[in-house]
Each structure stands twice: as C-alpha cells, then as structure tokens.
Amino acid sequence: MRISWFPAILSLIVAAAMAWLAYDIAFVENSDVDVYVALGTVVSVVLTLGVAMGCQMKNGKVAVNLKVWSIMMFVVMLISNFCFSSFGVKMPWYVVVTVCLLVVHLAVVRIIAGVKKV
C-alpha cells in the first residue's frame, strides 16, 4: 500500500470544511460539545476519506474494494456526525458510536489490504 500525498492533503481540506460545518451546526453557547463534534468529524473524515483518496494498491481489484468500502464508511460517518450535531449530542453516545464505526472501518481496511488474491 502506497500513500499519494496530494489526494491525502485534499482529504484533510475536506475534513476541515466538514468539521467547520459540524461545529457550526452543533454550536451551543458556553459549551464544549461543538468542539468535540468538530474534532470527531475531522478524525472520522480523515480516516475514511484519506484511505479512499490517498491509498494506492498494486492489485487493482483490492484497490477498488478498499476505495468502495472507505467511501461507504465516509458517507456513514458524515451521516452519523451530522445527525449528532443536528439533533443534539450526548457525549458518551457520540464517542462510543464514532469509535466503534472507526474501529470497524480500520479492521476491514486491514483485512482488505492484506488480501493477496481476489
């Protein structure tokens, strides 16, 4: 697996824009919830979209599987983050859901990247 730096940097820019939007939606006076939602959005978008855009594999079929999985998880993470920021954030629920989704994503990415033959 190789990392292409230009698409990876683009994913960081997209993550910053999504985090700002999540921060704006979740903004509450005298609360740190909006900051935590923004940080969670940055981490989840970078780990999902960064893999989809920035990683290259030698095997084309494995690369397609990796990109499709990462884009699907990117959409799931965006929906999750914006639902939490729109409808109200209960921090323990937010942390548990986000971490569980990221663990599943990274576990599947590791499995897909380790496949030799498709």
DSSP bridge partners of 2? 56
Collapsed DSSP state (helix, strand, coil) of residue 4: coil
pTM score above 0.75: yes
**% helix / strand / coil in the chain, to the nearest 5?**
80, 5, 15
- The total number of structural domains in the chain stands at 1
Q: Which domain holds residue 66?
A: 2-114
Give the CA distances from residue 60 to residues 57, 65, 69, 80, 114, in Å, rounded to whole numbers and listed in that order: 7, 9, 14, 30, 14
**Contact assessment for residue 55 and residue 66, using Cβ atoms and an 8 Å cutoff:** yes
Collapsed DSSP state (helix, strand, coil) of residue 56: strand
Q: Which carries the bigger pLDDT value, residue 118 or residue 51?
A: 51
Place of tokens 């599947």: 108
Q: Which of 4, 113, 118 is nearest to 66 (CA)?
A: 113
DSSP 8-state class, residue 29? T
Q: pLDDT tens digits, residue range 42-91? A: 999 999 998 888 888 888 888 899 999 999 999 999 999 889 888 877 88
Radius of gyration of the chain (CA): 15
**Alpha carbons 48 and 81: distance in angstroms, whole number:** 13
Mean pLDDT to the nearest integer, 97-109? 95
